[in-house]
Amino acid sequence: MKQRVVALIILAAFTVTGFAGCVTVPEEHKGAAKGAGIGGATGAIAGAVLAGEGSRTKGAVIGGLAGALLGGIIGNYTIDKKLTAEQTASKYNFQPSSGTMVRVENITTSPSSVSPSDKIDIQTTYALLTSAADVPVGVIESVEIRFENELVGNPQAMVTHGGGTYTFTVPIYLPSDAKKGTYRVITSVRTDSGSDTRETTFTVK
């Protein structure tokens, strides 16, 4: 009963604020890791609290939309490994003695100009440079969406990777009454030893 009460409190907080925490996504070795999107986000939160660590949905992104994007949906999170640890280290002339480093290489929104009810993909590519290629490192991938300086979206995932270059994609399905104007998108990738950030924009016309 105590666990269920805690879950209800967390779900209530999500409903009021539009934002929540994140879940762990184990690394996938073949192709893209896919999971439930925010359409089932409140269920993923409840499952994590009620059923424990082992029942969390693989690939789920927890977060929310509010303000100018209230009523929209965060779709299925996907992640792909683009380069091996060795290829990434060679590209950056990285020395293992430097310790773990992360570099956000690129962030795009596709398309960059949309209408209400459209879907937009936010895609980020980053390099994870580690002192030991076969030792997994905890990484937090987060996206902030801002409109007129107000935080209106914050999908986030926690993943575990070895060294390499990765691309993750978070699709956003805009509400039919999304406010028109320019939205800032800020992606941050963080490890225990550092972080990197890049920014882009998209326009709702």
d(CA 64, CA 123): 17
When mean pLDDT is compared across 87-96, 98-107, 152-161, the lowest value belongs to 152-161
* Structural domain span for residue 11: 2-204
Q: Which residue has the higher pLDDT, 117 or 48?
A: 117
SS3 93: coil
User: In degrees, to the nearest 5, what angle opens at C-alpha 99 toward C-alphas 26 and 165?
Assistant: 45
| Residue 63 pLDDT grade (very low, low, confident, very high; cuts 50, 70, 90) | confident
DSSP conformational letter for 177: T
CB 22 within 8 A of CB 63: yes
CB 183 within 8 A of CB 204: yes
Q: Enumerate the H helices of the chain as residue ranges.
A: 2-17, 41-51, 85-92
Enter the tokens of residue 181. Answer: 């104007």
> What is the pTM for the complete model shown?
0.73
Q: Which residue has the higher pLDDT, 129 or 50?
A: 129
- CATH number of the domain that 18 lies in? 2.60.40.3880
d(CA 148, CA 145): 10
pLDDT at res. 109: 98
* Statement: residue 24 has pLDDT above 50: no
- Counting the structural domains of the chain, the total is 1
* Statement: residue 164 has pLDDT above 90: yes
